[in-house]
C-alpha cells in the first residue's frame, strides 16, 4: 500500500511491529534506493510494558498470548536504520521533530 502511495507522489509513514530483520529487508527491497527509510523507535521492554494500556504484556507474561514480541518471541534490532530514536529518553514531540528533520534532510516534503 505504501508503495502505491509513493508512486502517486504521497509521502507515507507506515508503522509496523517488525521483529525480524529478514522481513524488514524484504519490504526495503520493494522500494527504489532512497525511497525507504527505516526508523527504529527503540524502547526497552520495561518501558513498553509501562506504556501498555491494554495489558497485553501482562497477558503475554501469563502465557495467554503466545509468541509475543519482547516477551516470548525474540526481537532482532535493526543493524543500520536510517534513524534510531530512543523513545525512553525523547518525548513524542521530540521524536516527531527528529523524524521530520530526517525527512527534510532527505528532500521529502520540501516543496
How does pLDDT run across 29-62, given as a tens digit for each residue? 988 888 889 999 999 999 999 999 999 999 999 9
Say whether 71 sits in a helix, a strand or coil.
Answer: coil
Catalytic site residues?
Answer: 18
- Interatomic CA distance for residues 27 and 1, integer angstroms: 11
Identify the sign of the CA torsion 44, 40, 64, 66.
negative
Q: Domains of the chain (ranges plus CATH)?
A: 2-43+75-105 (3.40.50.300)
If you average pLDDT over residues 1-23, what whole number do you get? 85
**pLDDT at site 35:** 86
Amino acid at each position: 500500500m505504501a508503495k502505491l502511495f509513493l508512486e502517486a507522489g504521497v509521502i507515507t509513514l507506515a508503522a509496523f511491529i517488525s521483529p525480524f530483520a529478514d522481513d524488514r529487508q524484504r519490504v526495503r527491497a520493494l522500494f527504489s534506493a532512497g525511497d525507504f527509510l527505516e526508523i527504529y523507535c527503540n524502547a526497552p521492554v520495561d518501558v513498553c510494558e509501562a506504556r501498555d494500556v491494554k495489558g497485553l504484556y501482562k497477558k503475554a507474561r501469563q502465557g495467554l498470548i503466545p509468541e509475543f514480541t519482547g516477551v516470548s518471541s525474540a526481537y532482532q534490532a535493526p543493524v543500520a536504520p536510517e534513524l534510531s530514536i530512543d523513545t525512553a529518553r525523547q518525548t513524542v514531540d521530540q521524536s516527531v521533530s527528529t523524524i521530520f528533520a530526517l525527512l527534510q534532510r532527505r528532500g521529502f516534503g520540501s516543496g
